[in-house]
């Protein structure tokens, strides 16, 4: 790793000021950023550690939503009684990210801000129609994920919390790469205040909604309803771990399993 200055602000306002430097980068759990820095894929002159900012913590119920602070670690979301009671599929998803040690360090804010095409959280955020709260504004999930590793966040804008509307039903299923544990294809399905939503992660360059499956599930909420729907492989990822055709096939299988998991 190249060396960098390290800052640990205690307020969002101070963090935003430090991040006004275009060569500064935010860090929380660091389980994506530090490996990237070791490979010298990135050369920030300063890291701004957000983990000391109290206002980014906490998991709470706000009316018909569960609001999770950006610094909530995957293990905290997995173990949260609040999340388990309101959105068990979200607790299940958090409990199956990476491995124990990744879940002890990785945060929801980091995962969603990074928008790795093979991450789990973007599927839950899009699949539940969550709202992203930032240091400047609120952004709907549909407007947040713009492309591979790209979101609507501006350089000096920090994700502060995510508000998940409580669904009637929700389920998640994924096929993991057995070595990296990243998602090959995963589906997060939900039925709730925003209608039926099906979000697919891992398969394409960015999480996306599967409109055909949403229409089928809106008419008939059952695993059988999506069993015959084929995902086109055209824009999906193809690499040493699996072809686009393989991932397209997995999308249907994972959507079926996600609906079955949702009950």
Partner 1 sequence: MPHVTLTVNGKSHTAEVEGRTLLVELLRETLRLTGTHIGCDTSQCGACVVHVNGDSVKSCTTLALAADGASVTTIEGLAAADGTLHPMQEAFREYHALQCGFCTPGMVMSAIDLVQKNPQGLSEQEIREGLEGNLCRCTGYHNIVKAIAAAQDVMHGKRSEIARAAE
- Positions that interact with partner 1 (CB under 8 A): 1-6, 8, 27, 30-31, 34-35, 37-38, 46-47, 49, 51, 75, 98-102, 104-105, 179-181
In contact, 59 and 82? CB cutoff 8 Å: yes
CB of 132 to partner 1, least distance (A): 25
Residue 35 or residue 195: which is nearer to partner 1 going by CB?
Answer: 35
CB of 248 to partner 1, least distance (A): 27
Residue 19 or residue 244: which is nearer to partner 1 going by CB?
Answer: 19
d(C-alpha 118, C-alpha 64), whole Å: 29
CB of 49 to partner 1, least distance (A): 6
Residue 6 or residue 227: which is nearer to partner 1 going by CB?
Answer: 6
Q: Which two tokens stand for residue 55?
A: 């206002």
CB of 52 to partner 1, least distance (A): 9
Angle at 207 between CA 181 and CA 105, to 5 degrees: 45
CB of 167 to partner 1, least distance (A): 27
Residue 97 or residue 123: which is nearer to partner 1 going by CB?
Answer: 97
Angle at 57 between CA 54 and CA 58, to 5 degrees: 135
Residue 45 or residue 238: which is nearer to partner 1 going by CB?
Answer: 45
Residue 5 or residue 54: which is nearer to partner 1 going by CB?
Answer: 5
Q: Which two tokens stand for residue 33?
A: 């950023």
d(C-alpha 103, C-alpha 42), whole Å: 24
In contact, 37 and 1? CB cutoff 8 Å: yes
CB of 58 to partner 1, least distance (A): 18
Residue 51 or residue 194: which is nearer to partner 1 going by CB?
Answer: 51
SS3 221: coil
CB of 80 to partner 1, least distance (A): 14
Residue 71 or residue 199: which is nearer to partner 1 going by CB?
Answer: 71
d(C-alpha 62, C-alpha 26), whole Å: 27
Q: Which two tokens stand for residue 3?
A: 């060396």
CB of 91 to partner 1, least distance (A): 15
């Amino acid at each position: 790793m190249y060396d960098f200055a390290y800052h640990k602000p205690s307020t969002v306002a101070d963090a935003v000021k430090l991040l006004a430097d275009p060569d500064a980068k935010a860090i929380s759990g660091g389980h994506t950023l530090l490996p990237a820095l070791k490979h010298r894929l990135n050369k920030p002159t300063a890291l701004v550690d957000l983990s000391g900012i109290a206002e980014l913590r906490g998991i709470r119920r706000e009316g018909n939503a569960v609001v999770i602070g950006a610094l909530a670690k995957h293990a905290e979301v997995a173990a949260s009684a609040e999340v388990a009671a309101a959105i068990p599929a979200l607790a299940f998803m958090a409990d199956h990210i990476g491995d124990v040690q990744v879940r002890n360090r990785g945060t929801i804010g980091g995962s969603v801000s990074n928008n790795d095409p093979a991450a789990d959280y973007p599927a839950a955020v899009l699949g539940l129609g969550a709202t992203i709260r930032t240091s400047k504004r609120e952004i709907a999930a549909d407007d947040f994920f713009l492309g591979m590793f790209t979101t609507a966040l501006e350089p000096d804008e920090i994700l502060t919390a995510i508000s998940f509307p409580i669904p009637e039903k929700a389920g998640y299923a994924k096929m993991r790469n057995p070595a990296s544990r990243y998602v090959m294809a995963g589906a997060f399905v939900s039925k709730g205040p925003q209608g039926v939503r099906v979000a697919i992660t891992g398969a394409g360059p960015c999480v996306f909604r599967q409109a055909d499956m949403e229409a089928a599930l809106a008419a008939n909420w059952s695993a059988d309803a999506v069993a015959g729907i084929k995902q086109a492989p055209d824009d999906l990822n193809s690499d040493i771990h699996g072809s686009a055709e393989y991932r397209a096939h997995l999308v249907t299988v994972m959507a079926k399993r996600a609906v079955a998991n949702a009950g």
